[in-house]
Chains A and B, each alone.
Chain A
Amino acid sequence: MNGPDSLVWWDWVGNHLDDIAAATSEHLQLTFYAVAIGLAISLVLAVVSLRWRRAYGPLVGFTNVLYSIPSLALFGIFVPITGFGFVTAEIALVSYTLLILLRNIVSGIDGVSPAVIEAADAMGYEPWRRFLTVELRLAAPAIVTGLRIATVTVIGLVTVAALIGSGGYGTFIRDGLSRSFSTPIIVGGGLSIALALMFDLIFIGIQWLITPWARKGALR
């Protein structure tokens, strides 16, 4: 008989659809802001690194340090400063995206063939226009890859963020932990995985859409 002590109590799931929807919304918001802000910061850092090559090493080193700090610790460090909830979670989550995005953006731009750059210059593009319309465009696949990795990583980390009260699917996991109730744990964990996979596929799709020149049969 399916009930509270079963692995998944389906009635509970049916009765809590609005809570699940709310948690989904929270989880998505946390992810979106973290990746969006992370992208903005990383773009700035990338431009800096491309202008001043020597800055790249230290920047990567610094973001690497941030990345290496376990999520629980990073959340814990900010709690005394910014308290519980959304803001603290966001600060830590953004930190985790920086290394991935910075490296991908820079390597993407680095990967643009010098011949193309010269051609653009020869056609009279000003440096900024060239950067935006040529280099960024060609670096887009690498950037999208970075976004893909960052998004999936952040979705997993948001579950831990629930420990500091930010909401999301982790709330279900904590609830289940506190009263030995497996259903919300499986719902929370399962949905988190599903969400991550969904975004993985979306980004693969985006990558396919924006690189017509890499598709089979395309003229080089």
Chain B
Amino acid sequence: MGAQGGAPVIAEFWDYVSDADNWWGESGLLFLTWNHLRLAFFATLVATLVALPPAVSLGHRRKGGAVAVGLVNLSRAIPSFAVLVLVVPFSLRYGFGLGFWPTFVPLVLLALPPIFANTYTGLAGVDRSTVEAARAMGMRSREVLRSVEIPAGLPLMITGLRIAATQVVATTTLGALVAYPCLGTPIVRSLQATRDNGELLAGAGLVALLALLTDLGFSLLERRLSPWRRSTADPAPVASIDESGLTPVT
């Protein structure tokens, strides 16, 4: 085994995925996929619940933009791997064990900033004249928020969710290092025990697929919610905070 070309590796991959035993059962790929998704979903959900209220509130008041930018940049700098390793001893000491909970923490930390920053900018960036028109029509602050700002800011909020969810799905893989059965498990197993390239590619391929589907799913949702945007191959220019529709904040 070792430095081989592509062909035998593909053969191993085919062998692995065409064996039904590898899909079904307690440690089968289907179970691992399900386990992977449920943690990713839960982490993203919690991050949304935590990030949304402050982001909406601050965005409405257009205060704290610098915090949003700073947070996102900071979070991109934090290596999830390090956070995971640091959380484990605490998780063990306080009875949360291995697996789910130690992995949950870095995932939430990963998801918070994109959701926060994009929600903030989505709301804060609503065209001022629209807001003022609404006010002039006699709407109060909360109504403006509900009927004008949130609907207008929704596409960017979905963008934030998209980025967060995709990154969380991809990073849940690290859970395999702390005994969480997920799609990282075949990768780690093949690297450390079985040395089976088919298993490695099956795990890696499935995660990549899931991440892409997540990205695609939310993209479609974004497009549905903003039909007025011109659809080009690249709908949103990449800007200073991350791959969202945010304009450079100087």
Q: Which residues of A contact B (CB under 8 A)?
A: 53, 56-57, 60, 64-65, 68-70, 72-74, 76-77, 79-83, 100, 103-104, 106-107, 110-111, 141-142, 145-146, 148-149, 152-153, 155-157, 159-160, 170, 173, 176-177, 180, 182, 185-186, 188-189, 192-193, 196-197, 200, 214
Contact = CB atoms under 8 A, between A and B. Distances in A.
Interface string B168-183: 0011011010000000
Given A100-B238, A153-B76, A189-B82, A180 B208 contact: no
B208 A69 contact: yes
A124 to B, nearest CB: 30
Contact of A70 (B76, B86, B173): B173
Interface in B203-221: 203-204, 207-208, 211-212, 215
A7 B24 CA distance: 43
B238 A81 contact: no
B76 A149 contact: yes
A72 B82 contact: no
A73 B81 CA distance: 14
30 contacts: A56-B234, A60-B234, A64-B212, A65-B212, A68-B208, A72-B188, A73-B203, A73-B208, A80-B1, A100-B243, A103-B238, A104-B238, A107-B237, A107-B238, A141-B248, A145-B238, A146-B238, A148-B240, A149-B76, A153-B76, A156-B76, A156-B78, A160-B79, A170-B79, A173-B79, A176-B85, A182-B89, A189-B85, A196-B76, A197-B73
Contacts of B207: 69-70, 73
A5 to B, nearest CB: 11
B148 interface: no
A100 B176 CA distance: 27
Contacts of A81: 3-6, 9
Contacts of A74: 204
A159 B81 contact: yes
A182 B166 contact: no
B76 A69 contact: no
B137 interface: no
Interface of B: 1-6, 9, 73-74, 76-83, 85-86, 89, 166, 170-171, 173-174, 176, 184, 187-188, 190-191, 197, 200-201, 203-204, 207-208, 211-212, 215, 233-234, 237-240, 242-243, 248, 250
A53 B191 CA distance: 40
B98 to A, nearest CB: 13
Contact of A68 (B2, B82, B83, B170): B170
Contact of B81 (A170, A182, A197, A200): A170
B83 to A, nearest CB: 7
A111 B238 CA distance: 11
**3 closest Cβ pairs, A-B complex:** A189-B82, A196-B77, A73-B204
A205 B5 CA distance: 45
A144 B81 CA distance: 27
B220 to A, nearest CB: 15
Contact of B82 (A82, A153, A159, A214): A159
A92 to B, nearest CB: 11
Of A56, A57, A141, A196, most B-chain CB atoms within 10 Å: A196
B237 A111 contact: yes
B73 A80 contact: no
A89 to B, nearest CB: 14
B200 to A, nearest CB: 5
Contacts of B188: 72
B77 A156 contact: yes
Given A103-B238, A152-B77, A173-B82, 9 more contacts: A68-B211, A70-B207, A76-B200, A76-B204, A81-B3, A159-B79, A177-B85, A189-B79, A197-B73
B3 A214 contact: no
A185 B248 CA distance: 35
A81 B197 CA distance: 10
Nearest to B214: A68
A192 B79 contact: yes
Nearest to A81: B3
A188 B174 CA distance: 17
B99 to A, nearest CB: 16
Contacts of A193: 74, 77-79
A185 B4 contact: no
Given A152-B73, A200-B77, A80 B239 contact: no
